Chain A
């Protein structure tokens, strides 16, 4: 199993605020990596370095390398739209665009040049099925995306990310506002998706990480403290801080 993403010596600062300190991490292809840690550890900032979404903040400074299939994504000639199509993202709060369900999903592909109506409809069906949302909305595709329930909106966002046929999917606490039923549907979807994609999941919920991930990385105050298989981290963590966090001594 090769490494899909290799992170070497990543440092991230917003002005003088040093958010990520020398992160080294390898993410293997077709697996789910869960990133856990308390609030303000830099988990979300780290996730956003993988698709360079931090770039829109003007005060950001990044050093180090992130290799996607061997290519450093911070090289000067990397086209951001190309990168973000390869590395899709689902945010913590579902953000459907103020358009119909159909339009939400085809937004990305249309920008990428897909214009044939047949292909677009096929894409919509395929991705909604993969996100386990198809049955609920198949006859309401022209309803506005904002009129769905929270769990449905989030699955719509997953479908939307899938529509670009990415290779990596980043999820930032995707179930944080959702009820247990919606959460389990999304976790079900992630199981299926990892067969085709590489998934990086940031979660505040250690139990979710235990359920879903293949490997786990523990972040604390901008440093990556420990990385290992889910089983190892949750049964015999090497670092005391990891153990304290997992057992709930701080949160």
Chain B
């Protein structure tokens, strides 16, 4: 009996000691930036083996709240302007990201005007046929199918940016399907030929088609040149200036190396 207790005590002390040798950096928030944060974390940890970087999602609002409450050292938010909940936090722009509207690859629509986008997402326009001609998915009898609108949950920075920059005050249709991450939106659009949604430019894959807005396509050139301007910053939020390994991680993200990783993987570097 006593032997068991002493073994357990030694184990607990041992575990405590082991922890002290590894420093942990916690970073959470925007699901749009999350895959890039993970890539950056991988590279950082390769160079600094004594550091563990934990990357979590949860949405931009989570990033803001977690940074405020101190749960994480760094909060990520992809949002046009920081809301009042972010008051008091130190904000650093790590990258820029375009929001693109996506449809199924078989959808014949290549371009939508701002008005059409607002009409579709508010539900005023709800059949692909109304966009004229042979557009969109056909049903079994050749009838045109109605548009499936896919959006993000409230609290998503991507959603807030989309509403700010494109919807501009127009209410989202209550029939819109809500998914709780950028990846889920993409999955929904790539499996439904009559769906339309919006995701961050950095995670567009060949399974979906990004369309032009008012004639301007979301190509890398157009985005870099500023022609395609549905772009918002990715903020890294911290309580005060970070020192130690966490500060080094932020420096790494802003360094040419880090920015190159960001650019290589499809996001816009800050510089």
Direct contact of A and B (CB under 8 A): no
Chain A residues within CB distance 8 Å of chain B = none
**Interface residues, chain B, CB within 8 Å of chain A?**
none
